[in-house]
Amino acid sequence: MGFWQRLHRGWGHVHVVTQEPSHMRITSVLVTLVLALGAAGCADEAGTPEGAATGTTGPTETTSESPSPTEGPGGAGQTIEITVAGDTVSPSGERVEVPLGEEVVLEVTADAPGELHVHSTPEQELAYEAGTTSFPLTFDQPGVVEVESHDLGLTIVQLEVR
Amino acid sequence: MTGDLAAVGGIALHGLGGAKDLPISPELAIAGAVAALVLSFTVLAVAWREPRFRGEAGGRPAPAWLDRLASSPALVLGLRVLGMALFLYVGFAAVFGKNSLVNPFLGVFYVWVWVGLVPMSLLFGPFWKAISPARTINAVFARLSGGDPEEGLYTWPARLGYWPAALGLFAFVWLELVYPNSTELGSVRLWCAAYLGVMLVGGSLFGNRFYEHADPFEVYSTLVGKLSVFGQRDEPDGTRRLVLRSPMANLDTVEVRPGLVAVVAVLFGSTAFDSFKDSSPWIRFVQSSEVSSTLLDNLALLAFCTGVGLVFAVASMATGVHTGMLRSSLPDTFAHSIIPIIVGYIVAHYLTYLVEYGQTTLIQLSDPLSRGDDWLGTADLSVNYWLSLHPTFLANTKVLGVVVGHVLGVVAAHDRAVRLLPARHQLTGQLPLLLAMVGFTTGGLYLLFAA
């Protein structure tokens, strides 16, 4: 929202500094740029649920044993349905946003036993049977986590944890 | 094969490391792109009209104690021993360790060496040259046989220039980014053995000149080291002295040789490809295509590297020149200006990887055989994930890295243009190159946003 105004102010500075010697001008412009980026960053900071993450000392993925899919409000991002049939997977490389620190359930429906690789930090390997298996996961560290079928060599879904 | 891999935790699809960085916000990407554009034209409009950088002549002599320290046998030998010790230790893990992602050989090779040589060279200059195991072994052989490691059987053919290094760098990024077994111990070990073999044969044929032109790590490290404050200069008395220069003045001393543009194109194009290959649209395309995904990745990596090289070559040649000046010499002459852009990209793409997987590697290094040893006392350390836990700070740092690298690149190209181009072409002659650089930077920011 305030972004364009900030940029505009940045432009203003560029015009002002053109009176100085050349290398000074470039330095000033760089300083202005750093300030503008910093301001953009501060604005984003408020929207990032960092407080939730900074409390943890390291990555701790909790994989609870009870396979009970929870249908959260809005559906998307809460339960991700994964189908593995023959040598195809669904979804196939899509990006899904997952809230930091909240539970997400991977519900795997497969025609044969196999294994999912969850490239969180640290990595997790989830073995499933033929039929439907649910894996509740919680991610405490922001980042993009790829979920892959190792047996098929396919990326199923990318979880954008933020 | 598959079961075997799973049993040892081998993960074929994915490189090393766990979660990847979040994409940057669109606001930040636009802010970065606008800043790059504005700053570029500001440089063009207001910067100096007479060249300021003076190549080798620039800079001032380092204090005598620093010069003595830098050339002291103790430091030179110490660095060689350090490089050789790490090489032997990691070689031991590569030969006797397990085929597993926790084998420290992989982390040292992909993270400490490949990514770590950038900050080390930025700080200290040509770092790989100082620790290179190939140079050390070559020097030992030369001493044993009573020869001089500088001299080989043949002189290095000048027209080859940096082309062999460009080829070697491509072989590395191919292994890291395209080859499906890039984290299989055997594959990486084979690559390293081939590398070392070529280096030792080359060194005995052409002497140390070979490493300056053909060792991919040394060429990369020495080029990045030109952004450090340390340089050398031939003095009138025939000695070579340590001089201190501003990074930009030091960058001006990059030796222009054939193939330089290919080296920077591979470094730059492959980093962009690394971002691109993990983006959801590319993965969806590859997985829905009938064509083998490895083939598509190969083609895409090649397209990124040659694309960058061609765009840069065409843009740098699109200017009027003095009569008698070969236009085809311009791409290599201006290629040094891409180096800061590469460093900015490396910050943007590999900072978390270096900091966090670098720590993981230090921990793993204590247990080279993956059986629970603690040889170095680092096994019980834990990784500090501060950077990943502050995604906004990380995103700002990345964009700042890209934009600062871009501006330094533009400044370097500007200075070279006002020195080389005829006065009436200095402004218009720079425009195509400037636009190409803006294109690279906005493209890079777009990838950071879309990846």
pLDDT at A69 over 50: no
The verdict on A39 touching B (C-beta cutoff 8 Å) is no
pLDDT at B134 over 60: yes
pLDDT at B391: 95
Decide if pLDDT at B299 tops 50. Answer: yes
User: With 90 as the cut, is the pLDDT of residue B228 above it?
Assistant: yes
Cβ contacts (< 8 Å) between B388 and chain A: which residues?
121, 141-143
What pLDDT score does A39 carry?
A: 47
Spatial CA neighbour of A9 closest among A41, A31, A36:
A36
Q: What pLDDT, on the 0 to 100 scale, is given for residue B305?
A: 98
Distance from CA of A141 to the nearest CA of B (A): 6
- Quickly state the pLDDT bin for B239 (edges 50, 70, 90): confident
pLDDT at A25 over 70: no
Q: What is the average per-residue pLDDT within B27-35? A: 95
- Range picked from A19-23, A42-46, B116-120 for highest mean pLDDT: B116-120
Judge whether residue B310 has pLDDT over 80: yes
Q: Is the dihedral of CA A48, A124, B356, B340 positive or negative?
A: negative
Rounded mean pLDDT of chain B? 93
pTM: 0.86
d(CA B122, CA B76): 18
For residues B2 and B370, give the distance between their C-alpha atoms in angstroms, rounded to a whole number.
Answer: 21
Query: If pLDDT is split at 50, 70 and 90, which confidence band does B240 have?
Result: confident
> Does residue A12 register a pLDDT over 70?
no
Identity of the residue in B35, B392, B399 whose CB atom sits nearest the CB atom of A45: B392
Kindly indicate the confidence band of residue B17, based on its pLDDT and cuts at 50, 70 and 90. Answer: confident
Residues of chain A contacting B42 with CB distance shorter than 8 Å: 14, 18, 25-26, 29
Q: Which of A48-57, A128-137, B14-23 has the highest mean pLDDT?
A: A128-137
Domain parsing of chain B, residue ranges: 17-450
* One-letter identity of residue A89: V
**Pick from A65-79, B23-37, B92-106, B123-137: least confident:** A65-79
Q: Which residues of A touch B293 (CB under 8 A)?
A: 153
| CA pair distance B219, B144, nearest whole angstrom | 27
Write down the mean pLDDT value for chain A.
68
* Contact with chain B for residue A7, Cβ under 8 A: yes
Those residues whose C-beta lies under 8 Å from the C-beta of residue B263, and which sit 6 or more positions away, are: B162, B165, B166, B169, B219, B220, B223, B335
pLDDT at B12: 44
pLDDT of A80 strictly over 90 = yes
Is residue A9 over pLDDT 70? no
Measured between CB atoms, does A38 come within 8 Å of chain B? yes
Report how far residue A55's alpha carbon sits from residue B172's, in angstroms, rounded to the nearest whole number.
39
Percent of chain B residues topping a pLDDT of 70: 97
Q: List the structure tokens of B43.
A: 């440089």
Chain A positions in Cβ-Cβ contact with residue B5 (cut-off 8 Å): 150
The pLDDT confidence band at residue B13, using thresholds 50, 70 and 90, is low
B433, B314 contact by CB (below 8 A): no
Q: Name chain A contacts of B22, Cβ cutoff 8 Å.
A: 142-144, 160-162
Is A14 touching B (CB cutoff 8 A)?
yes
Residues of A in Cβ contact (< 8 Å) with B393? 41
Residue A67 — pLDDT band, cuts 50, 70, 90?
A: very low
**Distance in Å, alpha carbon of B130 to nearest chain A alpha carbon:** 34
Distance from CA of B272 to the nearest CA of A (A): 18
Residue A55 has pLDDT above 70, yes or no: no
Instruction: Tell how many helices (H) and how many strands (E) occur in chain B.
Output: 22, 3
Out of A53, A59, A158, the one facing B280 most closely (by C-beta) is A158
CATH for the A56-161 domain, from 2.60.40.420, 1.20.144.10, 3.30.70.920, 3.30.830.10: 2.60.40.420
Hey, are the CB atoms on B22 and A37 less than 8 Å from each other? no
pLDDT tens digit sequence for B414-430: 999 999 999 899 888 99
Write out chain B residues lying below 8 Å of A10, CB-based. 35, 38
C-alpha–C-alpha distance, residues A47 and B5, integer Å:
41
Mutate to test the interface with B, among A20, A24, A37 (most CBs of B within 10 A): A37
Number of helices and strands (H, E) in chain A? 3, 9
Residue of A nearest to B357 (CA): A121
Q: Is the Cβ pair A125, B404 closer than 8 Å?
A: no
Report the pLDDT averaged over residues B64-87. 96
B431 φ, ψ (degrees, to nearest 5):
-55, -50
- A29-42, pLDDT tens digit by residue? 555 554 455 444 44
B390 contacts A117? CB cut-off 8 A? no
User: Which range (A17-31, B79-93, B173-187, B285-299) has the least confidence?
Assistant: A17-31
> pLDDT tens digits, residue range B141-150?
999 998 899 9
pLDDT at B422: 93
From B21, B25, B38, residue closest to A143, measured CB to CB: B21
- pLDDT tens-digit series, residues B320-366: 899 888 999 999 999 999 999 999 999 999 999 999 999 999 999 99
Query: Among residues of chain A, what percentage have pLDDT more than 70?
Result: 52
pLDDT given for residue A18 in this prediction: 34
ipTM of the complex: 0.87
Question: Between B18, B287, B400, which is nearest A93 by CB?
Answer: B287
Interface of A with B in 71-90 (CB under 8 A): none
- A105 and A64 Cβ atoms separated by less than 8 Å: no
Nearest to B42 among A3, A26, A59 (CB): A26
Distances (CA, A) of B273 to B186, B188, B276, B345, B400: 25, 20, 5, 11, 20
Q: What are phi and psi of B409, to 5 degrees?
A: -65, -45
Q: Which residues of chain A are within 8 Å of residue B399 when distances are taken between CB atoms?
A: 37
Nearest to A29 among B13, B39, B288 (CB): B39
What's the pLDDT score for residue B15? Answer: 67
Q: A36 CA to chain B: closest CA distance, Å?
A: 8
